[in-house]
């Protein structure tokens, strides 16, 4: 950014992190004045016993959950939000605890809008800035280390009536607190760990090169990139290393703070489009498009991409590499990470490896990508033809 | 005597206020910025007129906006009092410049303050960067918004010299030389006569 240029940075989310962070849940709810929160989660979280872990951690406290709503599907929509809001009202809840990944957290954000603002018409609140003021007490316990949704001002929910995605952007959606406890991510299988980790890395990298980047978001992005780069492969190899799991959870949250302030670009435009057209999981799409989009942005952001080599490869490799070679070395380091994760967890590196995307889908994906909000934040212009060419390279 | 041109619409002072206190500690409002306001008004007016004309003259602009339904309005506006330039799609498929426009158009691009509006309207910053840094807020249906932004880039390219366009757009769109200059001449010739359509 040009020196002296105006920017904003906003992160009001209190972060509680550590091996016993969950034990602080009851106190946090007390601080926020919530006596009967609704717990929003999904069947998967419940099935692997994470709810029991949470309740055990909150033992000997005065915690009372008004209800547990565990019907959030992977691709949640307006009907789910309305159903959860109904439970909240019927059971006279006074706050929300979201326990889950991106879909659960986004659903809980939307539920919070309905139960605070009233009514059942979520569409009226969609778009940018339509939600104002304080919402009800809202706590998030992420069970993946990737989306960063616990610290972003965005929620995406499907409109079940019209089969389209509703985007909500408002600082009011930000939770009051996020609890990062490694016990919650310990059971993630290697493929999910790898994919969500690459999503977090993409958030931090795009935050570092996209148009909204600023000195404050840079700090969060830098540390997030370093932590993912140092820890992701290690965690895939040693899934039960709690300290390393916590590092990834912290990295994911920091990347969320970074991109909630500087936004994401082309990797996400293509990833959202590929998800919508071919149902490729978000993290997998991020992994596939990241190096290609970096190469695409190389011309307009060479210096910024070169600087990524420091958090990606460490100070020694950074200083060994002459300045002119750093951008290419940074992208090579991302590819190296990809290859390792492909070997360890079978994380696809190409569209064809997903088994879901054929060349016949490229046109529809490219068209959806240029209508995605994130493409405006990408440093280099990307037209329909550019997206098609990039899809071809990623095939 | 009012201390500036913009008295607060609600009127001064609350009921039951002690008059002597109100006299010693009156409401304070910042002064107006008439020159900036006038400039923004003229610039936005030109953008609005040029947008409507370009939609008739240039096939690419027309294609970008082809999906907007009749009655659809969008506006570029400075928060909170304007100026504002709004365009509305007619039943005949023609885009019309309608002046300030409706209170809540389908797509609203709102400069958060006069400073961010001026940085874009004097071409000292790119609208994308100002948008990325929250100086410009956009609300409305996403695909429509993205199409309008792409069309706006084309309008700027048709209207402005290349060295200016290079500064405000990420990449100068490819428009065939003859068409670009033909449309540009037509735009310059018709702009002085194009007024807002009354709503
Ligand atoms: Fe993401």
Q: What is the mean pLDDT of each run of 10 residues along chain A (395 residues)?
A: 82 96 94 95 94 90 92 91 96 96 95 94 85 95 94 92 85 96 94 97 96 94 98 96 97 96 94 92 96 96 96 97 97 97 96 94 94 90 95 95
What domains sit in chain B, N to C, each tagged with a CATH number?
A: 34-193 (3.30.1050.10)
| CB environment B84-122: b (16+ within 10 A), e (fewer) | bbbbbbeeeeebbbbbbbeeebbbbbbbbebebbbbbbe
Q: Looking at the predicted structure, is the pLDDT value of residue B80 above 80?
A: yes
Average pLDDT of B125-151?
Answer: 85
Q: Do B125 and A5 touch (CB under 8 A)?
A: yes
Cα A74 to middle of ligand 1, angstroms: 15
Q: Between B159 and B17, where is the model more confident?
A: B159
All residues of chain A having their beta carbon less than 8 Å from the beta carbon of residue B139 are 127-130
* Residue A210, number of CB atoms within 10 A of its CB: 26
* Residue B12, number of CB atoms within 10 A of its CB: 12
- Quick: pLDDT tens for B5-40: 444 444 455 566 678 888 888 888 888 889 999 999
The pTM for the full model equals 0.89
Alpha-helical regions (H) of A37-173 = 43-47, 50-57, 78-90, 102-117
Taking ligand 1, which is a single-atom ion, which protein residues have CB atoms under 5 Å away?
Answer: A 199
Q: Looking at the predicted structure, is the pLDDT value of residue B4 above 60?
A: no
* Burial of B35 (C-beta count, 10 Å sphere; 0-12/13-18/19+): exposed
- Quick: pLDDT tens for A307-337: 999 999 999 999 999 999 999 999 999 999 9
Cα A285 to middle of ligand 1, angstroms: 9
Angle between helices B177-190 and B34-57 (to 10 degrees): 130
Closest CA–CA distance from residue B143 to any residue of chain A (Å): 5
CB-side exposure of A180: number of CA atoms within 13 Å? 26
Closest CA–CA distance from residue A233 to any residue of chain B (Å): 33
Q: Do A210 and B143 touch (CB under 8 A)?
A: no
- Quick: pLDDT tens for B41-61: 999 998 899 889 889 888 889
The tokens describing A264, both together, are: 């994401």
Name every residue whose Cβ is closer than 8 Å to that of residue B133 and which is 6 or more positions away in sequence.
Answer: A1, A5, A6, A7, A8, A211, A212, A214
Cα B57 to middle of ligand 1, angstroms: 40
Closest CA–CA distance from residue A74 to any residue of chain B (Å): 23
Cα A225 to middle of ligand 1, angstroms: 14
- Quick: pLDDT tens for A161-189: 887 788 899 999 999 999 999 999 999 99
Instruction: State residue A130's pLDDT score.
Output: 84
Q: Do A380 and B132 touch (CB under 8 A)?
A: no
Closest by Cβ to A370, choosing from B138, B140, B146:
B146
CA A191 to chain CA centroid, Å, is 16
Closest by Cβ to A211, choosing from B116, B129, B140:
B129
Closest by Cβ to B143, choosing from A5, A130, A371:
A371
């Amino acid at each position: 950014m040009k020196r002296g240029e105006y920017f904003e940075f906003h992160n009001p989310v209190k972060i509680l992190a550590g091996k016993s962070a969950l034990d602080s849940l009851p106190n946090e709810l007390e601080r926020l004045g919530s006596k009967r929160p609704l717990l929003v989660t999904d069947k998967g979280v419940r099935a692997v016993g994470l709810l029991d872990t949470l309740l055990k951690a909150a033992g000997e406290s005065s915690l009372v959950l008004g209800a547990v709503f565990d019907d959030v599907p992977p691709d949640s929509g307006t009907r789910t939000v309305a159903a959860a809001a109904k439970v909240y009202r019927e059971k006279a809840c006074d706050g929300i605890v979201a326990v889950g990944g991106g879909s659960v957290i986004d659903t809980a954000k939307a539920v919070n809008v309905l139960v605070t603002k009233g009514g059942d018409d979520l569409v009226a609140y969609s778009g940018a800035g339509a939600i104002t003021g304080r919402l009800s007490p809202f706590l998030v316990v992420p069970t993946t280390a990737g989306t960063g949704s616990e610290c972003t001002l965005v929620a995406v929910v499907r409109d079940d009536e019209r089969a389209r995605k509703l985007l909500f952007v408002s600082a009011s959606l930000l939770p009051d607190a996020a609890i990062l406890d490694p016990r919650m991510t310990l059971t993630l299988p290697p493929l999910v760990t790898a994919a969500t980790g690459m999503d977090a890395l993409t958030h931090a990298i795009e935050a570092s090169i996209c148009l909204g980047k600023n000195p404050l978001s840079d700090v969060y992005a830098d540390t997030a990139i370093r932590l993912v780069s140092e820890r992701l492969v290690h965690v895939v190899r040693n899934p039960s290393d709690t300290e390393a799991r916590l590092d990834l959870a912290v990295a994911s949250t920091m990347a969320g703070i970074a991109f909630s302030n500087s936004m994401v670009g082309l990797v996400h435009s293509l990833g959202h489009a590929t998800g919508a057209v071919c149902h490729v999981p978000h993290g997998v799409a991020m992994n596939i498009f990241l190096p290609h989009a970096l190469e695409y942005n190389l011309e307009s952001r060479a210096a910024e991409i070169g600087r990524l080599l420091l958090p990606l490869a460490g100070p020694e490799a950074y200083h060994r590499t002459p300045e002119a070679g750093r951008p290419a070395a940074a992208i090579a380091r991302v590819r190296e990470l990809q290859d390792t994760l492909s070997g360890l967890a079978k994380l696809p590196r190409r569209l064809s490896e997903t088994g879901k995307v054929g060349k016949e889908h490229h046109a529809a994906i490219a068209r959806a990508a240029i209508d995605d909000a994130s493409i405006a934040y990408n440093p280099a212009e990307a037209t329909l033809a550019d997206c098609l060419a990039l899809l071809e390279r990623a095939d | 005597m009012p201390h500036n041109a913009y008295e607060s619409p609600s009127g001064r002072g609350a009921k039951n206020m002690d008059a002597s206190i109100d006299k010693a500690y009156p409401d304070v409002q910042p002064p107006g910025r008439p020159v900036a306001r006038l400039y923004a008004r003229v610039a936005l007016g030109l953008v609005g007129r040029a947008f409507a004309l370009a939609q008739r003259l240039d096939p690419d602009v027309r294609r970008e906006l082809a999906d907007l339904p009749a009655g659809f309005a969008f506006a570029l506006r400075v928060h909170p009092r304007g100026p504002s330039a709004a365009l509305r799609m007619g039943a005949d498929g023609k885009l019309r410049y309608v002046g300030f426009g409706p209170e809540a158009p389908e797509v609203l691009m709102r400069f958060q303050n006069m400073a961010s509006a001026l940085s874009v309207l004097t071409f000292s910053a790119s609208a994308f960067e100002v948008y990325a840094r929250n100086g410009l807020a956009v609300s409305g249906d996403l695909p429509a918004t993205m199409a309008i932004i792409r069309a706006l880039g084309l309008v700027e390219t048709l209207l402005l010299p290349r060295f200016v366009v290079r500064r405000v757009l990420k990449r100068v769109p490819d428009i065939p030389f003859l068409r670009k200059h033909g449309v540009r001449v037509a735009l310059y010739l018709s702009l002085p006569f194009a007024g807002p359509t009354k709503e």
